[in-house]
A and B are shown apart, each in its own frame.
Chain A
Amino acid sequence: MKARIDPQRCQGHGRCHDLAPGLFTEDGEGYGQVIGDGTVSPDEERPARLALANCPERAIDLL
């Protein structure tokens, strides 16, 4: 599974890096960024799903 952020939708609420700090971070303007290539390890699946379920802009995809 891979995590992806749609930069057109992300408004920098920061819920993803609050809930899944191993998968997401922020850029210099506070917009969400996927760390590395976004591969979600089995340990990270629950935080990844929480991030997806809490993004107010629905900007996160798990593929």
Chain B
Amino acid sequence: MTVEDRFGQGLEEERRNRVLGTVSETVTDPVSDWATDFSHADPVWAADPYPIHDDLRRRCPIARTERFGGAWLPTRYEDVAAIAYDTERFSSRAIIISNNKPPRELAPEGDAPPITSDPPFHHDARRLLLPAFTKSAVAERETATRAYCHELIDALEGQEVVDAARDYAQHIPMRVIADMLGLPREDGPRFRTFVENVLESVSQSPEERAGHFDELSGYLVAQIHDHLADPRDDLTTYLVDAELDGRKLDPVHVVGTMMLLLIAGIDTTWSAIGASLWHLARTPADRERLVAEPGLLPTAMEEFLRAYAPVTMARLVKEDMRWNGVDMKADDWILLSFPAANRDPAQFEQAGEVVIDREVNRHAAFGLGIHRCLGSHLARMELRVALEVWLERVPAFTLADPAAVTWSAGQVRGPRTLPLRILRGPVHPRTRSDRR
């Protein structure tokens, strides 16, 4: 097969042969009892999930829902860690809970390797990507990221109230991943739609979700064709040329991995930046301390990641089994809440409090085990630079209207509307060193 066939006819055939999984009824009623009927798509959860987690951890540490075709929610760190490590009994073939459980034949690759892959396939698929995401590899993007953060703040000049989620946080990861994949920078608004469709629309019908999937996949295939005609030094060209066991990657693998890289890096980091600014806006003592002691930021940032971990993953139970006191059935979902694990008092002192100089912080914001977030070093670089630049240019700010803050629902949680009032006059102009 020629390369062109691989992303034309070959991809079309694979798509036609797709097997649909099991579809369950969509239930969007308000939650009546979190222990037996939880929903992470419920507005109460989106607004503040931590009291729900804390309550469940005390009275029902592995909660249940019949929604989504049946799911479990462990809230103890110990249980979350055990499931993350147990790839024998819990599959990653789908990691976003919806009303469609993909067929078992989708394993071990899944739709978006390697996040949806199980061993042994997972290892090699992940290995292809690791070198591009090491700490030293992502450090090369720091200067450009910092310059872009300054540009975003320049654009806020003259405003007293700014939406830090919409006008700052969201743009940073979009720009970084567009550059890494070699996608047009001006496609940012489309990325936002893709993210919302994949991650924040879990209650839509399987047909609607499939339509969104095809739209995203169509966009990526067009980008692949553009790279075939004009190869560049970026991840898209790298994936098109990459080989596993002496063969070029399956076209579905290439598109699936691009989907992962595009979607997974955007609203996660956007959420982490937004949640950190939200915390600082409502906690003047922490904000003032970080402005006075910028060297504390790396430690504080880990605490923001612990306390406001944006990402919750999912697994599927492989076989019927009794597990830590509950009867799990094959194909039950597990909502793998790293945010709940990160606030377990059995693992963290003052678990419910944000302690910005916390020295011992074994949080699980980026997961545990073989699926440790591939982009964690990139996310940390973006979060650190975004906060450094913000605090330098906008050292004093507060929530303009706490009631106006909105949070995304679903498995990635962070502020989507975050109006901040800038105190002590307009934003600071750039210093000479910023202009370098």
Chain A residues within 8 Å of B, Cβ to Cβ: 11-14, 17-18, 26, 28-30, 50, 53-58
Chain A residues in 8 Å Cβ range of B368: 11, 56-57
A26: contacting residue among B135, B302, B372, B376, CB under 8 A: B135
- New A-B contacts (12) at CB < 8 Å, excluding given A29-B130, A54-B360, A56-B363: A12-B134, A13-B376, A29-B127, A30-B135, A30-B377, A50-B359, A54-B361, A54-B362, A55-B362, A56-B362, A56-B364, A56-B372
The answer to whether B134 touches A28, judged by C-beta atoms less than 8 angstroms apart, is yes
> In angstroms, how far is the closest chain B Cβ from the Cβ of A45?
14
Q: List 22 A-B contacts (CB under 8 A).
A: A11-B368, A11-B370, A13-B366, A13-B376, A14-B376, A14-B377, A18-B298, A26-B134, A28-B131, A29-B127, A29-B134, A30-B130, A30-B131, A30-B135, A30-B377, A50-B359, A53-B360, A54-B302, A56-B364, A56-B366, A56-B372, A57-B369
Chain B residues in 8 Å Cβ range of A53: 359-360, 362
> In angstroms, how far is the closest chain A Cβ from the Cβ of B2?
32
B133 interface contact, C-beta 8 A: yes
The answer to whether A13 touches B372, judged by C-beta atoms less than 8 angstroms apart, is yes
Interface residues of B in 346-391 (CB under 8 A from A): 359-364, 366, 368-370, 372, 376-377
> In angstroms, how far is the closest chain B Cβ from the Cβ of A39?
23
| Number of B residues with CB within 8 Å of any CB on chain A | 22
- Cα of A28 to Cα of B361 in the assembled complex, Å: 26
CB within 8 Å for A12 and B359 given contacts A26-B135, A28-B131, A30-B135:
no
- Cα of A55 to Cα of B265 in the assembled complex, Å: 23
Chain A residues in 8 Å Cβ range of B363: 56
Chain B residues in 8 Å Cβ range of A14: 135, 376-377
Chain A residues in 8 Å Cβ range of B372: 11-13, 56
> In angstroms, how far is the closest chain A Cβ from the Cβ of B63?
24
* Dominant secondary structure of chain A at its interface with chain B: loop
Chain B residues in 8 Å Cβ range of A18: 135, 298
> In angstroms, how far is the closest chain A Cβ from the Cβ of B336?
15
Chain A residues in 8 Å Cβ range of B362: 53-56, 58
The 4 closest A-B pairs by CB, nearest first: A30-B134, A29-B130, A11-B372, A53-B360
Chain A residues in 8 Å Cβ range of B360: 53-54
> In angstroms, how far is the closest chain A Cβ from the Cβ of B279?
20
Chain A residues in 8 Å Cβ range of B366: 13, 56
- Cα of A57 to Cα of B368 in the assembled complex, Å: 7
- Cα of A18 to Cα of B139 in the assembled complex, Å: 13
> In angstroms, how far is the closest chain B Cβ from the Cβ of A7?
13
- Cα of A12 to Cα of B368 in the assembled complex, Å: 10
- Cα of A9 to Cα of B162 in the assembled complex, Å: 44
- Cα of A30 to Cα of B378 in the assembled complex, Å: 12
B22 interface contact, C-beta 8 A: no
A30: contacting residue among B133, B298, B359, B369, CB under 8 A: B133
- Cα of A26 to Cα of B133 in the assembled complex, Å: 12
- Cα of A38 to Cα of B22 in the assembled complex, Å: 52
